[in-house]
């Protein structure tokens, strides 16, 4: 097992407060899976969780380290949660096919958010 790449992203939570207020479900449905939206909206401060998931999607793209990656449909990069609440990444569609073509067996992710910022780091692992 070795690393293909590491990606990180930092975003302002206030930006996602505005995007969610202006775009509503149209914005959310374009960028996030149903499960991601349901989880974020179930939280006390949904914008923090939306922002962290957006940062994770950007970090995943950076971890794949390739200019050949076709423009993603953002919901193809899904932030999941395991039974203990730890985040994970599930790739779908063209993004999954591209990652497989690079030999990526998994993408590991960590998320964090505070009052003003959300961040994520992703590591693409190859066999």
- Report helix, strand or coil for 118: strand
Residue 67: the pLDDT is 66
Model confidence, pTM: 0.92
Total domains present in the chain:
1
**Residue 47 in this model has a pLDDT that exceeds 90:** yes
Using an 8 Å Cβ cutoff, are 75 and 32 in contact? Answer: yes
Residue 1 or 17, more confident: 17
Is 70 exceeded by the pLDDT of residue 16? yes
65-109 pLDDT, tens per residue?
876 777 778 889 999 999 999 999 999 998 999 999 999 999 999
CATH number for the domain including 19? 3.90.470.20
Domain residues for the domain of 112 are 2-126
Query: What pLDDT, on the 0 to 100 scale, is given for residue 65?
Result: 80
Residues in the chain: 127
């Amino acid at each position: 097992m070795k690393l293909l790449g590491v990606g990180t992203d930092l975003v302002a939570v206030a930006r996602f407060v505005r995007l969610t207020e202006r775009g509503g479900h149209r914005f959310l449905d374009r960028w996030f899976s149903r499960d991601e939206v349901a989880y974020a909206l179930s939280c006390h401060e949904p914008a923090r969780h939306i922002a962290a998931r957006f940062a994770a999607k950007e970090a995943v793209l950076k971890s794949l380290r390739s200019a050949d990656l076709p423009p993603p449909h953002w919901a193809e990069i899904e932030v999941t949660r395991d039974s203990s609440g730890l985040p994970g990444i599930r790739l779908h569609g063209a993004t999954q096919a591209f990652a497989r073509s690079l030999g990526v067996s998994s993408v590991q992710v960590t998320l964090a958010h505070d009052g003003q910022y959300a961040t994520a780091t992703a590591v693409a692992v190859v066999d």
